[in-house]
Amino acid sequence: MTRAVLSIGSNIGDSLAHLQSAVDGLGDAVVAVSPVYSTAPWGGVEQQDFLNAVLLVDDPTAGSYDWLLRSRNLEEDADRVRDQRWGPRSLDVDVVDCEGIVSADPELTLPHPRAHLRAFVLIPWLDVEPGATLMVDQEVRAVAQVLANLDRSERDGVRVTDSVLIR
């Protein structure tokens, strides 16, 4: 296995620089970078808006747990603090999908268990992979259809910015 979809987000400090650090840290493994979006925080914790993007990555030597380890290393390099669920963070890197693998391992649940509920993941994912599919409720579904089924307010809360991440 080689290919993964990573969702990146930040709402502490220089959020754009934190997102760029993820792109830079993954180097040649980055195949595609979505536009940067501004989104309201998800999960009910009072905090400032996030910048979000999606990366398509590919490395013939990497498995799903390698992508998890790389994600955690990127977060650590950005001084990520995990003291509040869905709280503010300098950098959040989630493995959304990895070659369509389905895993219930609590260390790495695939696909990401809430990806199908998050327009801030689905919209930028479609920017870089218009034909993307995602396993939802044990059924492979088109990401475009999953997105269309979300509440309009969820979709409308994802706003493209003028910021650009350099690959």
- pLDDT tens per residue across span 104-143: 999 999 999 999 999 999 999 999 999 999 999 999 999 9
One digit per residue, the tens of pLDDT, for the chain of length 167 reads 689 999 999 999 999 999 999 999 999 999 999 999 999 886 666 789 999 999 999 999 999 999 999 999 999 998 777 666 666 889 999 999 999 999 999 999 999 999 999 999 999 999 999 999 999 999 999 999 999 999 999 999 999 999 999 99
CATH number for the domain formed by residue range(s) 3-160: 3.30.70.560
Contact 84, 91 (CB under 8 A): no
Backbone angles phi, psi at 136, to 5 degrees: -135, 125
Residue 50, pLDDT score = 95
Q: What is the pLDDT of residue 81?
A: 72
Distances (CA, A) of 102 to 16, 50, 64, 81: 31, 28, 11, 28
Amino acid 55 reads L
Q: Where are the beta strands (DSSP E) in the chain?
A: 3-10, 30-33, 37-39, 50-58, 92-98, 103-105, 108-110, 133-136, 139-142, 158-160
| Secondary structure class of 161 (helix, strand, coil) | coil
- Cα distance between residue 14 and residue 5, in whole Å: 23
What pTM was estimated for this model as a whole? Answer: 0.95
Where are the chain's structural domains? 3-160
